[in-house]
Structure 1
């Protein structure tokens, strides 16, 4: 019997929650290892062997070590998904999934993720600029979700898992979701999936920016 996957994380990181959510959806046994990042645990030599850039999340799957959340969730579905295709059923769907993974690493990271880094973690970033980028993205996403249940098709895919965490917690970064009904409905559909697991929440700053 193999040991559970070890997930090295910060419990308030959306990147880490992205991986935890995927493992939970796949019903893969895992255990979390919360790193004391304030005291440099992510830069310790032993951890750098797992995550050479000293970042979270990282996993140790019985000797297979990986970092980068999008890389990890791709590995997880390729390794553990049984009767469900998370990466798209057609060439077009696969390309769209990849597009949204790129958005997760780009526009989501520089928009709602960056805004939340300022308010939750005190990161020295341009909060006003990050909020503006978040709203520019959400306008596009809300339109993309008009008439469809999920980002790529009528089925949940990696695209939705990669996008969920920072968008669901955008209000913690001062980014209101009030103007985006399709996004809010999409978030609810993800939260209704079997084995959904929530991320730790942080106080919502006020006033929330529209």
Structure 2
């Protein structure tokens, strides 16, 4: 059986979410790197795969998924914790637990996307890269930082009483929210006031199979 193919960009946090889950669940993916910064995602060849022109994109047999959240759900629902038939503990067969996970996937795609994601993109990649255009304006950055700190307050409150975001265990909720929060210093967002968030980041890093992304240990690597 052919391996699922992940179209990815190595510095894309959304692409990293999928690579991270695959590592945690021991899923064997074929990785195809897309030259995102040179706009390969809008080439005719790539648009034939994903008309949205976005990474990550997953092709698994006759199915194509064009968003990180749907890919996380698909892989965690299909594969067990050993990479075999699932679902894994990172997903659930219980409807209430599924809804609790999706609640945080939505948080990642709204609060996180227009907060720490946007601040990182502007200061480390030269543009917001979030559908708001490519020009980095002072007002856009200001608004991103306001949203960043508010989202960190929400997360810190949640994690003050829970070790994980949903269902009392690591799930794709944690995988989805983790990356851009952990990379927040790339957007000059200080995480130190949020002790519960910082502790949670370390818990995620300690999960068996964890793999890093550039910027976790050196948030200024793109600005030297």
TM-score of the two chains, using structure 2 as the length reference: 0.84
Could you say what secondary structure the match of 1:32 adopts?
Answer: strand
CA contact (8 A) 1:22 1:73 kept: yes
In the alignment, which residue of structure 2 is the partner of 1:204? 219
Which aligned pairs between 1:26-105 and structure 2 lie closer than 5 A? 26-81=25-80, 82=86, 84-88=88-92, 90-105=94-109
CA distance in structure 2 between the partners assigned to 1:189 and 1:29 by the alignment: 24
In the alignment, which residue of structure 1 is the partner of 2:124? 120
Q: Structure 1 92/78 Cα, relative in aligned 2: closer, same or farther at 3 Å?
A: closer
In the alignment, which residue of structure 2 is the partner of 1:18? 17
CA contact (8 A) 1:15 1:69 kept: yes
CA distance in structure 1 between the partners assigned to 2:100 and 2:37 by the alignment: 37
Give the deviation of 1:95 after TM superposition.
2.1
In the alignment, which residue of structure 1 is the partner of 2:167? 153
CA distance in structure 2 between the partners assigned to 1:89 and 1:5 by the alignment: 22
Gaps of 5+ in 2: 81-85, 128-134
2:202 paired with 1:188? yes
Match of 1:162 among 162, 169, 176: 176
Give the deviation of 1:43 after TM superposition.
1.2
Q: RMSD over aligned Cα, in angstroms?
A: 1.9
In the alignment, which residue of structure 2 is the partner of 1:130? 144
2:185 paired with 1:171? yes
In the TM superposition, structure 1's runs of 4+ consecutive aligned residues that sit over 6 Å from their partners are none
Gaps of 5+ in 1: 206-210
Could you say what secondary structure the match of 2:162 adopts?
Answer: coil
TM-score of the two chains, using structure 1 as the length reference: 0.90
